[in-house]
Structure 1
Amino acid sequence: MLKDFSVQSFFMGCLTAFVGFASSFAVVLQGLKAVGATDVEAGSGLMALSISMGLCAIVLSVATRLPVSIAWSTPGAALLATTGAVAGGFPAAVGAFIVCAALIVVAGLFKPLGRAVAAIPAPLANAMLSGVIIGLCFAPVKAIAFNPLLGLPIVITWIVVGAFKRLFAVPAALLAFVLVLVFGVDIPPEALAAWSRSLVPPVEFVTPVFNLAGLVSIALPLFIVTMASQNIPGIAVLKVNHYDPVPGPLFAVTGLFSLFSAPFGGHAVNLAAITAAMCAGADAHADPKRRYWAAIIGGVGYVILGLLAGAVTTFVALAPPVLIQAVAGLALVGAFSGSAVSAFKEPETREAAAITFLVTASGVSFAGISGAFWGLLGGGAMMALQRLVPRG
């Protein structure tokens, strides 16, 4: 394994951890508070999720030698934010988190589901990935429009450094983001005082309560959203990058690590989609067999960020969210261009791929499930129809 380690994978792993944590931790905190968590309980849940997904990424990447990136369920957190508190308060929500994790384990051990995921056509998987990524790829332009003095240094750094050495373009943009935050954002003294008080990791064990309200309102919708919007697209991203994982065991392991984080307030961890594209793409390493180190380093980064969850949350929250998204978008430009070319390369599947891309990129959710799942479903239906009905 040590022979496979590279500086390129190290940089991408560090960036993966930063992007995965910073780009959506606010959604997680909002979701946990919406279902009744106190500030301490929400911080504990954030810490537990970060550590859990970091350890899960390390275990799976070492065991499979594949760049298996793990994330918390951002769509699941968004679902919690719209669900609100249920009867029994946050303990009932924690009980629902445990039930959801158990359902993910069962789904992973159910082989027909794994075979269904493995059968996703490559053009549709590439189109789905392009649709998932394109929103973040717009972020650098939006950051410049938001504030040119803050956004331009990040983008220009990426362009200039990338012209000389593509490997260091994204790390340089990340450094530019930190400098912009330190020197370009007015940080009030009370914010620094709050940062110093947040260095101690928040740990809060919540005794779960199991009731029908938690099962119907949280557990089942959270399970469906996590599987449809995260785990299935996560497998598709690996397949797009020419890896052939066995889905079932990966799903089951993410369910086990979700069980670990649930009593401390974490809702669910799952296979990543966006950060998976970063770890599994060519920017992580030219040799696909060595890219798994990016996921391992990313996992280590998640554990460290989890232990520093309070301090990191306070620091990153000082920056406008669009700047964080801009760094992520710059890191995904290569992944977007590659997946888009592959999606629309074959004329026979171009229309089906277009449907998948457009539905996914729309960002519209139906029945609480994100457009990524419905995009695959719509594109698959179009592809099946084209095969059944001969063209004139």
Structure 2
Amino acid sequence: MLKDFSVSALMMGLLTAFVGFISSFAVIMQGLQAMGANPAEIASGLLAQSISMGVLAIVFSCFYRMPISIAWSTPGAALLAGIGTAGGGFAEAVGAFVICGALIILSGLFQPLGRAIRLIPAPLANAMLAGILLSLCLAPVKAVAFNAALGLPIVLTWMVVVSRWRLWAVPASLAAMVLVLVLGVDVPADTMGRIGAAIHPDLTFVTPVFTWHAAISIAVPLFIVTMASQNIPGIAILKVHHYEPPPGVLFAGTGAFSIFGGLFGGVPVNMAAITAAMCASEDSNPDPARRYWAAIMGGVGYIALGLLAGGIIAFVSLAPPILLQAVAGLGLIGAFSNAAFAAYREPETREAAAITFLVTASGLSFAGISGAFWGLVAGGAVMAFNRAMRVRQG
């Protein structure tokens, strides 16, 4: 196992952990705040989720020798922010988190779901991945338009380094963002004191309250969004990179740790989508059999970030969100181009892939489910129709 370790996997793993944590923690915070969590409960939730993501990624990747990345349910947190405060306060929301975790476990034990995922056509899975990545890959352009003085140094640093040292391009752009933040953003005088005071969060157990109202209005929608927007696309992305993970085991594992994290205030954890593409790409290692180390190091990174969550949140929140998104987008350009090429390679499935890409990239959300799921549905319908017409004509 140690012979498979590489510096490129180490760098990509730590980068994916940082990108996954920093690019979406604000959404997680907003969702927990909407459910009535106080600052201590929010910090506890972030820590519990980080531990869950790290442990699962390390265990699954070591056991299956695949780059299995785990993430928190960002779409689920966005859903929570839209639902608003639970009637019984945060304890009732925690009860819903536990129920959601139990439902995810049941979905892992329901074998037809795993078989259905394995039948997803590769062109559609690639088109879905490209659609997911598009908005983030546009972030560097938007960052320059937002503030050229802040965004341009990040992009130019990436352009210079990627032409000579591809592995170091995104870490260099991340370093450029930190310098921009230090030199170009006004920082209050007491910032360092506040960062130091908040750096180490504590796990705070929240006694769950179970109600039918929370189960129906929070747990079920949260389960659907987590499965449709994260777990199913996450498995599909691994398939794009020629891995065949066992969906049932992975879903059951994420469900169990969602219950653990929920009891300490965290939203569910699930299969990663965007960061999974980073760990599974050739940038982590040219040899697909050795890329699992990227997910392992990503898990280590998540645990470390969770232990420092308070201070990291206080520091990074000083930067405009678009700068964080720009760094993530630069790290995903390679994955986007590879997915787009694979999606449109076959003429027979090109229209279906285009529909999948457009619906996914549109940001469409229907019935609380993101465009990634509906993109697969729409593309699958077009593919089935085209095949039926060819059979009828031939």
TM class by shorter chain equals over 0.9
Q: Which residue of 2 aligns with 1:378?
A: 378
Q: Which residue of 2 aligns with 1:324?
A: 324
Q: Which residue of 1 aligns with 2:258?
A: 258
Letter in 2 for 1:69: S
Report Cα offsets for 1:75-125 as digits up to 9, x if no partner: 000000001112211101000100100110110111100000111000000
Q: How far has the Cα of 1:169 moved from its partner? A: 1.0
Q: Give unpaired runs (5+ residues) of structure 2.
A: none
Cα distance in 1 for residues equivalent to 2:167 and 2:193: 37
Q: Which residue of 1 aligns with 2:219?
A: 219
Q: Which residue of 1 aligns with 2:360?
A: 360
Q: Which residue of 1 aligns with 2:281?
A: 281
Determine helix, strand or coil for the equivalent of 1:270: strand
Determine helix, strand or coil for the equivalent of 2:190: helix
Runs of 4+ in structure 1 off by over 6 angstroms are none
Cα distance in 2 for residues equivalent to 1:324 and 1:124: 29
Letter in 2 for 1:319: A
1:170 pairs with 2:163: no
Counterpart contact for 1:47–1:306, Cα < 8 Å: yes
Cα distance in 2 for residues equivalent to 1:45 and 1:199: 15
1:189 pairs with 2:189: yes
Cα distance in 2 for residues equivalent to 1:164 and 1:52: 37
Report Cα offsets for 1:258-294 as digits up to 9, x if no partner: 1111110011000000000000001111001111111
List aligned pairs for 1:298-317, cutoff 5 A. 298-317=298-317
Letter in 1 for 2:375: G
Cα distance in 1 for residues equivalent to 2:152 and 2:196: 30
Backbone CA RMSD of aligned residues: 1.0
Report Cα offsets for 1:312-339 as digits up to 9, x if no partner: 1111101110110001000000000000
Letter in 1 for 2:196: S
Q: How far has the Cα of 1:43 moved from its partner? A: 1.4
Q: Which residue of 1 aligns with 2:102?
A: 102
Letter in 1 for 2:58: I
Counterpart contact for 2:198–2:311, Cα < 8 Å: yes
1:269 pairs with 2:272: no
1:44 pairs with 2:39: no
1:90 pairs with 2:117: no
Cα distance in 2 for residues equivalent to 1:190 and 1:367: 44
Q: How far has the Cα of 1:202 moved from its partner? A: 3.1
Cα distance in 2 for residues equivalent to 1:213 and 1:89: 12
List aligned pairs for 1:13-32, cutoff 5 A. 13-32=13-32
Report Cα offsets for 1:167-218 as digits up to 9, x if no partner: 1111111111122112222111133222121022132110000001110111
Q: How far has the Cα of 1:361 moved from its partner? A: 0.1
Letter in 1 for 2:134: I
Cα distance in 2 for residues equivalent to 1:221 and 1:322: 29
Report Cα offsets for 1:109-154 as digits up to 9, x if no partner: 1110000011100000000000000000000011111111111111
Determine helix, strand or coil for the equivalent of 1:238: helix
TM-score, length basis structure 2: 0.98
Cα distance in 2 for residues equivalent to 1:97 and 1:8: 36
Q: How many residue pairs are counted as aligned between the two chains?
A: 392
Residue range with higher mean Cα deviation, 164-173 or 335-344: 164-173
Counterpart contact for 1:86–1:217, Cα < 8 Å: no
Q: Which residue of 2 aligns with 1:151?
A: 151
Cα distance in 2 for residues equivalent to 1:298 and 1:275: 9
Identity of aligned residues (%): 66
Counterpart contact for 1:202–1:310, Cα < 8 Å: no
Q: Which residue of 2 aligns with 1:207?
A: 207
List aligned pairs for 1:40-79, cutoff 5 A. 40-79=40-79
Cα distance in 2 for residues equivalent to 1:84 and 1:74: 16
Q: Which residue of 2 aligns with 1:246?
A: 246
Q: How far has the Cα of 1:55 moved from its partner? A: 0.9
Cα distance in 1 for residues equivalent to 2:203 and 2:64: 31
Q: How far has the Cα of 1:352 moved from its partner? A: 0.6
Report Cα offsets for 1:338-392 as digits up to 9, x if no partner: 0000001111101111110000000110000000000000100111111112376
List aligned pairs for 1:125-144, cutoff 5 A. 125-144=125-144
TM-score, length basis structure 1: 0.98
Q: How far has the Cα of 1:19 moved from its partner? A: 0.3
Cα distance in 1 for residues equivalent to 2:182 and 2:147: 16
Counterpart contact for 2:40–2:201, Cα < 8 Å: no
Letter in 2 for 1:91: A
Residue range with higher mean Cα deviation, 171-180 or 225-234: 171-180
